[in-house]
Amino acid sequence: MRLAVITSNPGKVEEYRAALSVLGIEMEHRRFPYMEPQVDDLNEVVRHGLEELRSQGLQDFIIDDSGLFVESLKGFPGVYSAYALKTLGNNGLLRLLDGQEQRRAEFQCCIGCSRDGMPDIVVRGSCQGVILTKEQGEGGFGFDPIFSPDGERSFAQMGTEEKNAMSHRGRAVQALAEALRESMEG
């Protein structure tokens, strides 16, 4: 099976390749802009994206909408994560949490998959952790240097496979793989 990953973010594609190639699914990276409505639910963004891209003639693709939800900031940046990263950056987010002891946060990922003639698959994954007090590590992308699932090592200090084993995207991809397997068997 071959699926296009429609995203502007090459870091996501690397994680998809690492997780899905073992299942014999080939991933192809494509950039194809689509409207992301400003709603407070990742699923809704993904459902909307699937419809829009299909109406433009795309077939056999996945899209991914993710966000970082910080508890003491009442879930901010959440669905505004891409904008917050562009404007505030990791250091701006760290400054918002200056002196804050309660640093719990959750990463969420919602994946939508559209295949020709098949019902859409929409799955989610999440990962609990904390916002560190400074950036740690050089790997990964986005918020990886400031997010840690265990309060010690950041995602940016892990390899792709180690991150996938516990991350929001890794968990959503496992759910996707399961749903694809079921639909192929059924």
- Catalytic (active-site) positions: 65
Write down the least CB distance from residue 14 to ligand ITT, Å.
10
Q: Which of 82, 88, 175, 179 binds ligand ITT (CB under 6 A)?
A: 82
In terms of Cβ atoms closer than 10 Å to its own Cβ (0-12, 13-18, 19+), residue 157 is middle
* Residue 8 interacts with ligand ITT (CB under 6 A): yes or no: yes
SS3 118: coil
**Calpha distance 57→88 (Å, rounded):** 36
DSSP H or E segment with residue 68 = strand 61-70
Q: Which of 46, 66, 130, 171 binds ligand ITT (CB under 6 A)?
A: 66
In terms of Cβ atoms closer than 10 Å to its own Cβ (0-12, 13-18, 19+), residue 106 is middle
**Calpha distance 24→38 (Å, rounded):** 35
CB-nearer residue toward ligand ITT: 12 or 48: 12
Q: In sequence order, what E strands does 25-60 have?
A: 26-30
CB-nearer residue toward ligand ITT: 10 or 119: 10
* Residue 81 interacts with ligand ITT (CB under 6 A): yes or no: yes
Interacting stretch for ligand ITT, rule CB under 6 A, among 20-28, 53-61, 62-70, 91-99? 62-70
* Residue 179 interacts with ligand ITT (CB under 6 A): yes or no: no
| Chain contacts with ligand ITT (rule: CB under 6 A) | 7-9, 12, 64-67, 81-82, 85, 140-144, 155, 167, 169
